[in-house]
Amino acid sequence: MQNVDVTDRVWDHLLAIRAGKACACCGGPWSTGERGALDLYAPLARRDLGPAVVAQIGQSLDGRVATLAGDASDVSGPDGHAHLHRMRALVDGVVIGIGTALHDLPRLTVRLCSGQSPARIVIDPKGRLADDAPILREDGTRSMIIQAVKQPRPAHVEVLQLQLIDGKFDPREILQGLREAGLNSLLIEGGGITIANFLDADTLVRLQVAVSPLVIGSGPIALTRNVQHARLADCLRPDTRVFGLGTDVVFDCGLTEAAHAATIPPHTVT
Ligand SMILES: NC(=O)c1ccc[n+]([C@@H]2O[C@H](COP(=O)([O-])OP(=O)(O)OC[C@H]3O[C@@H](n4cnc5c(N)ncnc54)[C@H](OP(=O)(O)O)[C@@H]3O)[C@@H](O)[C@H]2O)c1
C-alpha cells in the first residue's frame, strides 16, 4: 500500500498537470507521500491520454453506503471526503443518478481543496428532479440533466435528451453526448445503480472503491452488477493499486489498457 500525503505544493503541481502547464514526471523532489499523491491523482489529471471515465464509491468495511434508515452522510472519513473533492477538481464533469440527487441533495462543487468545480450532470430519465434542487443552482458552474421526457428546464440548465432502450439509456450514448458538450474526463460519483450501468457497459477506465473502517451492519450495498457468474474465476479481478489516505483506504482498479498506460509516467512510455 502506498501512503498519500497531499501537500499544497504537490496539489498545485497536479492542478498544473490538469491545466496542461506541467507534466507528471517533472517537479519535485517529492517525499514518499507526495509521490503517492502523484501516483493516485496524476492519471486523472493528465489530459494527454484522451477521454477518461472513472467511477468512485465510498463504502464501509461491510460494503454498505448507508444505514437502513438512509443515513449516508459520513460513510467516508474526513480524508475520504477530501479525496472525493480532489477527484472532482481534476475532471471536466461529475455524474450522478437521480437516486443520489433526490436522497443526498448534493451540490457536487469543490470545497475541500483548491480547484475549479466541474460541470454537474444528473441522469434523470423521468424528469423527477425539481428545478430548485441544489445541483441546478445558478452559481457559475454548468448544470446538465440527461432526460428522456420532454420537460422544460430553467434556461441555465443544459438538457441532453436521449432515448431509453429497454428502460435505460445506453451509457455509451451518454458519454458521446457529454463529449459533444466538451466534457471528456468524467467522474461517475454514484450511486451504485449508476456506476453498475457504466461498469456493465465496459465504459469505465478505472473504478475506485474508498473503504472506511466502519461496520454498518444493514443497509444498501455499494455496488451490485447486473451480471452473474457461477465461478469466481469468471468474475472481474482488476489490476489494483492500494493507497492509504489516512482515515480511508482507496482501491484504485484499472479496467482497461488505457488505465495501465496512465499509471506509467510519460518519460517511461516507449
Ligand atoms: N458512498 C458513496 O460513495 C455514495 C455516492 C453516491 C450515492 N450514494 C448513496 O447511494 C444511494 C443512491 O444510489 P442508488 O444506486 O439507489 O441510485 P442512483 O445510482 O443514484 O440513481 C439511480 C437512478 O438513476 C437513473 N439512472 C442511472 N443510470 C441510468 C441509465 N443508464 N439509464 C437510465 N436511467 C439511469 C435511474 O432513474 P429512474 O429510477 O428514474 O429510472 C436509476 O434508477 C443513496 O443512499 C446515496 O446516499 C453513496
pLDDT in tens, 66-119: 999 999 989 999 999 999 999 999 999 999 999 999 999 999 999 999 999 999
Number of domains within the chain: 1
Bridge partners (DSSP) listed for residue 165 = 168
Domain extent at residue 249: 2-268
| pLDDT at residue 267 in the model | 46
CATH classification at residue 261:
3.40.430.10
Best substitution site from 189, 193, 216 to test ligand 1's pocket, by max atoms within 8 Å of Cβ?
193
- pLDDT at residue number 226: 85
pTM of the model: 0.95
Q: Cα 83–101–91 angle (5° rounding)?
A: 40
Rounded CA separation 8/125 (Å) = 40
Tell the residue nearest (CA) to atom 47 of ligand 1.
Answer: 72
Query: Which tens digits make up the pLDDT trace of 192-248?
Result: 999 999 999 999 999 999 999 999 999 999 999 888 999 999 999 999 999 999 999
DSSP 205: S
pLDDT given at position 264: 65
Pocket test for ligand 1, best of 87, 88, 123 (most atoms within 8 A of CB): 123
Rounded Cα gap, residues 83 and 40, in angstroms? 10
Residues whose beta carbon lies within 6 Å of some atom of ligand 1 = 57-59, 65-66, 72, 75, 96-100, 103-104, 123, 125-126, 128, 168-169, 171, 189-194, 197, 220
Count other C-beta atoms under 10 Å from residue 104's C-beta: 19
Ligand 1: residue whose CA is nearest its atom 28:
194
The pLDDT value recorded for residue 164 is 97
pLDDT, position 265: 59
Q: What is the pLDDT of residues 21-78, one digit of tens each?
A: 998 888 879 999 999 999 999 999 998 888 899 999 999 999 999 999 999 989 999 9
Ligand 1 atom with minimal separation from the 70 CA: 45
Dihedral of the CA atoms 103, 209, 235, 206 (nearest 10)?
A: 100
Give me the pLDDT at residue 82, please.
Answer: 97
Q: How far apart are the CA of 21 and the centre of ligand 1, in A?
A: 36
pLDDT of residue 270: 37
What is the DSSP code (8-state) at residue 135? Answer: G
Burial class (CB in 10 A: 0-12, 13-18, 19+), 25: middle
Q: How far is the CA of 146 from the centre of ligand 1 (A)?
A: 13
Q: Which residues of 83-100 are buried (b: 16+ CB within 10 A; e: fewer)?
A: bbbbbbbbbbbbbbbbbb
pLDDT at 28: 79
Residue 235 C-alpha cell reads as: 468474475
Strands in 200-263 per DSSP E = 206-212, 239-244, 249-254
- The four Cα atoms 104, 117, 162, 156 give a dihedral, to 10 degrees, of 100
